[in-house]
Structure 1
Amino acid sequence: MKFRMTAMAAGVALALGAAPGAQAQGSQRQDFTMWYGLTGQLSEAVQQVCKRFNDSQDQYRITCTSQGEYDKNLQNTIAAFRAGQQPTITQVYDIGTLDLMLSGQYVPARELMQGQGHQIDWNNYIKPIANYYATSKGEMLSFPFNSSTAVMYWNRAEGKKVGQETPPATWEELHAALGKMKAAGKSCPLALDFDSWVVFEQFASAHNIPVASKDNGYGGLDAEYVFAQQPLMRQHLNNLHNWYKEGLAGIRTREGGQNVVAAFASGDCAVAFASIANHQTIMRSQTEGLDWTPALIPMYEGHQRFNTRVGGASLWALKGRPEAEYKGAAAFFAFIAQPESEVFWSTITGYVPVTRAGYDRMVQEGFFKKPENVGREVAMESLLLENQSPLTSGLRLGNGTQFRALYANEMQAAFSGQKTMDQAIDAMQTQGNQFLRRFQQTYRGKTLP
């Protein structure tokens, strides 16, 4: 079965060169390729990982190429596959996982490693991370690579000015602190954007709220969005809207010239919600003397905290490449799963380790106690909370990219006064379910692995 076209891939024209194939002439190494969807400093970090692998041995050589953002990489991979020019490995972000699973055009992780003679302790992978890329039986289909979760970035100096010595643990406490900051003259207490990942998806996980039926889609392709029926979700999104109208929050988007991370790093805004992966970006770009820390995202009073879910992406070995390339791919996957490789990756980025061995190595080496890393442990704390449920594993819902775009459009409409927040929430659910039904029709007759 070939990749089926979804709305995300419709109209994608193949404008890509052929992926490098077998062993290069005059070389003793087996060449193979990886495409990924990271840019800027994170793209540079991927290139460092690939160079370290190439320098570590003389049998294989990986060529790693950025295709732009996550969605563009997936589009290009689908287009290249249809033309028989797919890379050996491709990086697919969390919400694109279902597309790969149902395509069947990949070599399952366990099958690949066994076939190439690598002994892997699959239980070594941190469960909340592994679950996102595993079958219903718990067998991982791809390799977690750049994994993260959501945190609150807190300006300690601004907090101390208004008597908030520690990061707020509840949304109610945060609201009070933002009000005091505003009264003290802070023009942007909180930076908000229209990305669904933190204040919608991760918020739902931490509060154990269903985004969709059938355990957020893990139970079948006939799942439906149900978030509009969740009172706490309505309350939360309306609260954020009200904070904006009260001047407690400012909209900061890339399109507007300054995203939430840049707004926080510059000191313009005192609080921001983003991925722990942005930790190094803030460290490198912060205004001089910025006093800040990551913290757990707040909870509403009276609600038990559950784990936040993993974000980021995983690496898939694609079918249809020369057999010799899979030896290189397996060697690369084994290399990046080594504790020292995970320490290196986490050091040059803000991503978390994906294995217990990697995490233990970082703890033993005092990684989280170093001044430049203080606070990063909250991401692991958030992922590894004992309170976990089927609702906190992730979202296995089709056309996820389209839904995130829909969320952004509806939030923008609400915040600009074109409609009420409740109208925006209802529209998101109605149109989101239309996306799910189209995806289900595209893959009619298929069942989740």
Structure 2
Amino acid sequence: MKYFVYTYLLCLLASGGQAQVKKSSGKKITDKSLQIQPNLSDSQLLDLVQQQTFRYFWDFAHPVSGMARERSNKSNENSDEVVTTGGTGFGVMAIIVATERKWITREQAVTRLLKIISFLRKADHYHGIFPHWLNGETGKTIPFGRKDDGGDLVESAYLFQGLLAARQYFQQDVPAERELRDNINWTWKEAEWDWYTRDGRDVLYWHWSPNNGWAMNHRILGWNECLITYVLAASSPSYPVKAEVYHKGWAASNYFRNDRDFYGIRLPLGPDYGGPMFFSHYSFLGLDPHGLKDRYADYWTQNKNHTLINREYCIRNPKGFKGYSADCWGLTACDTYDGYDAHSPTNDFGTIAPTAALSSFPYTPEYSMQALKHFYFKLGDSIWSQYGFTDAFNETKQWYATSHIAIDQGPIIVMIENYRSGLLWKLFMSCPEIKTGLKKLDFSSPHLN
């Protein structure tokens, strides 16, 4: 089966910024954190990985906008200015984690988030929906492709997922937090989700551009990383979509149901063997899959089984790649030795991405810890850096990335936190609008009781 991940197959090849080590504005992380520490407890190791990875979104954020740069390695002359809408949403959630764990002060967090939302209020948008890439200094659209120079509904969904969690967290009755909440609410209410049904059709479309209209013609059909897009579209307080858009569009695709076994593990939805691991990460940074069900699936079962299948494939290692084992697993979209690809059991060239196993901590904590210890203690000299683990490695090719990518770094912080405390799940699922939207789409969840 084909995946609806073409955006990520093209993604990140021509943008980003040159990595720099800067002094943190919050609790200082010294260069000692680059040295592999041999006697860490499990809890200490999780602390270290979350905090070190957070530096990507704090130290390396764009200095004008505060938004997340697309990637840490320079790939063209404009790389320094390219910031990512979806990656910034993940970064907003990372800032919440950092605040809760006191790596930065609450005041520092609010100041940074106000910088981000104030920038977004003035930045290019298309019926309230932001483009995939923005110039972090000017707020002007940087085209993602020849015709992809307008609104990107999926990237914007990741952004709003983070902003709504921030709104729920920063609830103090003080001027700065009131201003933050107001700006988030205005931006959220101005997003015209129903515009992206293309004149009222029963499906959402990924892109619209004032220059190219609907020329991209890309319907958002499941199963993939886009569930959060439909949930937010149904939850909009100003421009919601009908429930039929979810049931007749997203869930009616030939790529939606699976209901087959792989290695004796039943996969309810999606392509054979589950596809890249980010399918079970991006939408579930905020959506709590515990007890989340609709007429199509139990989403805890879906995500856990997807993870187990991905790991079991790596253990069996049918292509005989070096390094694959119960300790070293995880196939997802990431950099690789010859570019960028969406890796999965059906698209495997020997490249492991740490984000795949580490962002799966809620689903497979024992197995994810096993992988984490391998990545840090065994491979750390090759893949541990000032921004946490580098993006990927391929031991068959003796290749180790030096790059970091926002959409891979963010889920590591957020999903480890969801495993440890459920923080982002509690915040996002507490949004009254999200409760309304989920009920509208006929979901059940303990958060809706």
Fold in common (TM above 0.5): no
Which has the higher relative contact order, 1 or 2, with Cα contacts under 8 A spaced 6 or more apart? 1
User: Higher Cα Rg: structure 1 or 2?
Assistant: 1
The TM-score, its normalising length taken from structure 1, stands at 0.28
